[in-house]
A = this chain, B = another copy of it.
Amino acid sequence: MKLYENAIAPNCRRVRVFLAEKGIDVPGVEIDIIGGQNISGDYLEVNPNGQLPGLELDDGRHLSESAAICRYFEELHPQPPLLGTTPFEKAAVQMWERRADFEGMLGVADNFRNRFPPFENRGIAGTSNVPQIPELVERGRQSVQRFYGHLDKRLGESPYLVGDSLTLADIDAMCVIDFALFSELEIPQSHSKLRAWYDGMESRESARSNPGLTAALGSISKVLGG
């Protein structure tokens, strides 16, 4: 089995932190996103969309999409359960996963990909001829702010997003926020519940052993200015 990934890409980090919480070790193959290795040649056989991560099974079959890869490992290794235990929790994990994707990750990606010079013609992940749209920078920022508000409200009701223990929903949201901070979309000071929860998430061994963009590179300004 092989996991095609980029060590600091947000969606890859979701899978790595998930695997670390499960105690599962999977060999990785590093793919250079900035150099475009994911959108050319062999990798498109793994995932025709050109997005990371991608999983190759020993029989040659492939899976892509981070949530789908996590589902596969949850089915193979049910303990500890990270996708919920009751019907309601299982559904709620998926609900928060999708909020993390649509409101969070897509918001940051819009904000980031449409202003970061190396992605000049890569306005959508996995593509090579989609021009940037500068107006999406602001639309993305607003979407992330809404996501922060929903998280802070929820974390005022519960120590984790779903139920009383960690699930993939928390991991997803943490990885979104790490990417958002790299893109300089700060969590408002007033969101104290969210800030405390985020600090707790980043201090877990699973997160520290799989550092994200912010821990590795600082911020977009630092990368571009340095």
Q: In the complex where A75-B91, A91-B72 touch, is A150 in contact with B63 (Cβ < 8 A)?
A: no
Contacts of A92 in B (CB 8 A): 63, 68
Instruction: Report the stretch among A136-144, A176-184, A214-222 that lies at the interface.
Output: A136-144
Residue from B90, B143, B150 within 8 A of A75 (CB atoms)? B90
Residue from B49, B68, B87, B90 within 8 A of A94 (CB atoms)? B68
Residues of A within 8 A of B (CB): 48-49, 57, 61, 63-65, 67-69, 71-72, 75-76, 87-88, 90-92, 94-95, 98-99, 101-103, 106, 123-124, 130-131, 133, 135-136, 139, 142-143, 146, 150, 153
B87 touches A76 (CB 8 A): yes
Number of copies: 2
Q: In the complex where A139-B123, A139-B130, A150-B49 touch, is A95 in contact with B75 (Cβ < 8 A)?
A: no
A49 touches B87 (CB 8 A): no
> Shortest CB–CB separation between residue A55 and chain B, in angstroms?
9
A contact patch SS: helix
CA distance A150 to B99 in the complex (A): 25
Residue from B61, B67, B88, B142 within 8 A of A98 (CB atoms)? B67
A99 touches B133 (CB 8 A): no
Residue from B88, B99, B124 within 8 A of A139 (CB atoms)? B124
